[in-house]
Structure 1
Amino acid sequence: MKASLEIKSLEETTSDVFIKSWTEASVGSLNASTPFSSLSVEKEFEGMKSELGSDYKKNCLVIFYENQPIGVTMPQIEQGTIDEGRLFYFGLIPSFRNKGWGQYLHNVSLHLLKKMGATYYIGATGQNNIPMQRIFQANECELIERKFIYKLIT
């Protein structure tokens, strides 16, 4: 099943394919209130480039199955560290969710982080994102902290 999997960086595909795949993967996300608007995806893209630095094209990956985009992952070594692996973003296009792809592709992302020099991984998700919490557990990630985030609108 997974033999037809291909991972292409932004160096190997177009920014249009990457942005379209990233936008589709954000649809229905349990971590976001709404999918990207056409304006916000451009802002997110610029913010991501700033966060990932000059090598961003190597870290922006579209995952293809049978030549069809199925998800996006953005592995990185956290700025200011030499070995802390993070995923700036990880998500599946909705039609590929709930089919076992999430756990598998997250595990692939963890292996990519290891190849980049990560000796450990820090991942986070929202309290309502039970599928991602299950992926962390299935891939043997250990829960180390729960956060409470507050907002005041004035």
Structure 2
Amino acid sequence: MFEMITKPGEYTLADQKKEPSISVEEYREGLNKLIIEWQQGDTPYLSLLMDPVFEEELKNQGFRVVSTIVEHERGLIEELPQILQSWRTLYASERTDNQFADIYEACKSGSVNKNQLFTMDQIMESLRLELGEGWRELAMLFYEQDEVIGMAIPHIEPNTTSEGRLFYFGMMPKWRGKGKATVCHATALHRLKELGASHYVGSTDTSNIGMIRIMVANGAAERDRKGIYRIDRN
């Protein structure tokens, strides 16, 4: 019922898998088991993505509301939008992992997303753990002449064969609001198709109006919303 990621001593993340065949009562039972397992572990907090219909129940369990995310989806079989030609993978570039981390941090600076869980070191570790050692061949850097203007990390969602996701997408601060983000995002969708994805699923905080507009501009329609809830160990 839940996708789980745990790093002992640091965090537990859970994402509800919405299935029509699973009843509300079954989700309640699964949630109770999830909380008990977390309580028996050693991570300082549990961050949960779950249908807002359970919000009052979660509050009663000790969770606080962090924010709400919205998911958008589009197929990748049909024609895709215009793309940017100037991009390279991190693997093909001359940049080091540390330089890539600096670009990543710059792109996420000033983010309106409310769920800021990880340090940059934790993000880089998550790349290796979730995407494998080949993550550098997935990471894309977008260019204007020789200047990096943004980045994306397209991949096939683990435990699926064709669901395309972006581990991260962002623009360098000076290139925001200049009409480049939509075409960079479209280029990442093309890359997802090349990787074998049949459809794209993107998610962002409901407060991130800019990212929502980019997804809509590239043909991704809203499909779902989930609340972000967190409980900390006493």
TM-score, normalised to structure 2's length? Answer: 0.59
Decide whether the 8 Å contact of 2:165 with 2:200 is kept in 1.
yes
Match of 1:50 among 126, 129, 132: 129
Paired position in structure 1 for 2:179? 100
Worse-superposed segment, 126-135 or 2-11: 2-11
Q: Deviations over 1:71-125 (max 9, x none)?
A: 1100001111111100000000111111111111111100000011100011000
Paired position in structure 2 for 1:119? 198
Question: Partners of 1:115 and 1:151 in 2: how far apart?
Answer: 36
> Does 2:104 align with 1:25?
no
Paired position in structure 1 for 2:225? 146
**1:29, distance to aligned residue in structure 2 (A):** 1.3
Decide whether the 8 Å contact of 2:83 with 2:183 is kept in 1.
no
Q: Give the 3 Å change call, closer, same or farther, for CA 54–16 of structure 1 in structure 2.
A: closer
* Letter matched to residue 109 of structure 2: V
* Letter matched to residue 12 of structure 1: A
> Does 2:92 align with 1:12?
yes
Match of 1:87 among 148, 158, 166: 166
Secondary structure in 2 aligned to 1:50?
Answer: helix
Decide whether the 8 Å contact of 1:21 with 1:62 is kept in 2.
no
Q: Deviations over 1:14-69 (max 9, x none)?
A: 223311211110111122566x7xxx212210111111113211111221211011
Secondary structure in 1 aligned to 2:222?
Answer: coil
Question: Partners of 1:8 and 1:70 in 2: how far apart?
Answer: 12
Paired position in structure 1 for 2:64? none
Secondary structure in 2 aligned to 1:145?
Answer: strand
Report which of the two has the higher share of strand: 2
Question: Partners of 2:114 and 2:152 in 1: how far apart?
Answer: 16
**1:6, distance to aligned residue in structure 2 (A):** 2.4
Count of matched residue positions in the alignment of Structure 1 and Structure 2: 150
TM-score, normalised to structure 1's length? Answer: 0.88
Stretches of structure 2 that go unaligned for 5 or more consecutive residues are: 1-81
Higher radius of gyration, 1 or 2: 2
